[in-house]
Chains A and B, each alone.
Chain A
Amino acid sequence: MSPRAAWRLESLGFAEVCDYVEGKLDWLAAGLPTEGTNAQRPRAGDVARRDVPTCRLDEPIAEVRERVEAAGWDACVVVNEERVVLGLLRVQELGRGQEERVERIMRPGPSTFRPHVSIEELAHHMLHHDLPSSPITTGDGRLVGLLRTEDAARAVHGAHEGVDEGVGS
């Protein structure tokens, strides 16, 4: 629709008209701020932990495990130099091996979700599929953070009680 509107505006005499072709979905998927009734409701990107440890494909798993444990985490997201998510290490993977490289042990291609997804919807999905955590990424696959089911459930509970728990660390 937007190209038609843009062309029509130009024909009406508007001097400079730009069409943001990728539109609102692209904006939301990048986790950028919006206005409107949904803007006050917590979304996946608000609750995802941005301090989740990350590692590269070629790191030895033992080194990653040490770093992740020192940071008090039990999960690590495998990313490339562009922070595009390539894999996920949960407790089971972190506990395996010593010298093996991450790429031999990680869960490849984990399901990811966009930052604008309602936290209620995603919490339900994660509980239903028994997912302890899910990476939140932009539309082009870049890591925003890791959403833990416990954080999602707490945010839903807080939203239902109308309490601002200051989610989004």
Chain B
Amino acid sequence: MREVRRSEVQELMNKGAQVAEILGPEEFQEDHLPGAINLPLRKVETDAESKLDPNRPVIVYCWDSA
């Protein structure tokens, strides 16, 4: 796992990386990055493999670094 900044996020997205928001569905519905899927932290165990391709890069994010 590695940390990325905004500019690299944009580059990876342009190259087709998958993007997953870790917040809950209400926050996701209000605002999310273009093309992101919603994968709340507690659903990672059960839903990750059905929602994401493990062979392609994945970017995860929540609200901020706090």
Pick from A2, A28, A37: contact of B62, CB under 8 Å: A2
**In the complex, which residues 9-24 of chain A have their Cβ closer than 8 Å to any Cβ of chain B?**
9-10, 12-24
A119 to chain B, nearest CB (A): 15
B23 to chain A, nearest CB (A): 8
Question: CA of A23 to CA of B22 in the docked complex: distance in angstroms?
Answer: 10
Is A8 an interface residue, CB under 8 A from the partner?
A: yes
| Total contacts A-B at CB 8 Å | 136
Decide: A17 and B1 in contact? CB cutoff 8 A: yes
Question: CA of A47 to CA of B56 in the docked complex: distance in angstroms?
Answer: 38
> Most chain-A CB neighbours within 10 Å: which of B1, B2, B12, B59?
B1
Known A-B contacts A16-B57, A16-B58, A19-B4; the reply to A8 vs B65 at CB < 8 A is no
Known A-B contacts A2-B60, A38-B31; the reply to A22 vs B6 at CB < 8 A is yes
B residues near A1, Cβ cutoff 8 Å? 22-23, 41, 62
Decide: B52 and A14 in contact? CB cutoff 8 A: yes
**In the complex, which residues 20-46 of chain B have their Cβ closer than 8 Å to any Cβ of chain A?**
20-23, 28-36, 39, 41, 44-45
Decide: A24 and B4 in contact? CB cutoff 8 A: no
B residues near A3, Cβ cutoff 8 Å? 1
Return 30 A-B CB contacts under 8 Å, by A number. A2-B22, A2-B61, A3-B1, A5-B20, A5-B41, A5-B44, A5-B60, A9-B60, A12-B45, A16-B56, A16-B58, A17-B58, A18-B3, A18-B58, A19-B2, A19-B61, A20-B3, A20-B4, A22-B64, A22-B65, A23-B64, A24-B23, A25-B63, A25-B64, A26-B64, A27-B6, A27-B9, A35-B35, A36-B31, A38-B31
